[in-house]
A = this chain, B = another copy of it.
Amino acid sequence: MTELTKVQMSEGPAKRWVSYRSEIKVLDCTIRDGGLMNNHLFDDGIVKAVYHACMEAGIDYMELGYKADKKIFSQDEYGSWKFCSEDDIRRIVGKNESSLKLSAMADAERTDYHSDILPANKSVLDMIRVATYIHQIPTALDIIKDAHDKGYETTVNLMAVSTVQEPELDEALSILANSEVDIVYLVDSFGALYSEQVHYLIEKYLHFAESKGKVVGMHAHNNQMLAYANTIEAIIKGANILDASMAGLGRGAGNCNMELLLGFLHNPKYSLRPILRCIQEHIEPLREKLLWGFDVPYMITGLLNQHPRAAMQFNATPDRGDLVQFFDRIIEEE
A interface list, Cβ under 8 A from B: 2, 4-5, 9, 13-15, 17, 165-167, 194-197, 200, 224-226, 228-230, 232-233, 236, 257, 259-260, 263-264, 272-273, 276-277, 279-280, 284, 296, 299-300, 303, 321-324, 327-328
Contacts and interface: CB of A to CB of B under 8 A. Distances in A.
26 contacts: A2-B196, A4-B196, A13-B165, A14-B165, A14-B166, A15-B166, A194-B232, A194-B264, A195-B232, A195-B233, A195-B236, A225-B228, A225-B229, A225-B257, A226-B228, A226-B229, A259-B296, A263-B300, A272-B327, A273-B327, A276-B296, A277-B323, A279-B323, A280-B321, A280-B324, A284-B321
Contacts of A321: 280, 284
Contacts of A226: 228-229
Dominant secondary structure at the A interface = helix
Chain copies in the assembled complex? 2
Given A321-B280, A321-B284, A197 B327 contact: no
A322 B228 CA distance: 23
A263 B226 CA distance: 13
A280 B225 contact: no
Contacts of A277: 323-324
A15 B200 contact: yes
A230 to B, nearest CB: 8
Contacts of A166: 13-15
A276 B323 contact: yes
Contact of A276 (B17, B195, B232, B324): B324
A274 B6 CA distance: 44
A264 B159 CA distance: 23
B233 A228 contact: no
B322 A280 contact: yes
A9 B196 contact: yes
A225 B225 contact: yes
A131 B228 CA distance: 30
Nearest to A262: B303
A273 B230 CA distance: 26
B228 A194 contact: no
Given A2-B196, A13-B166, A229-B229, 15 more contacts: A13-B165, A13-B167, A17-B194, A195-B195, A195-B232, A224-B263, A225-B225, A225-B257, A259-B299, A263-B303, A273-B328, A277-B323, A279-B323, A280-B323, A280-B324
Contacts of A276: 296, 323-324, 327
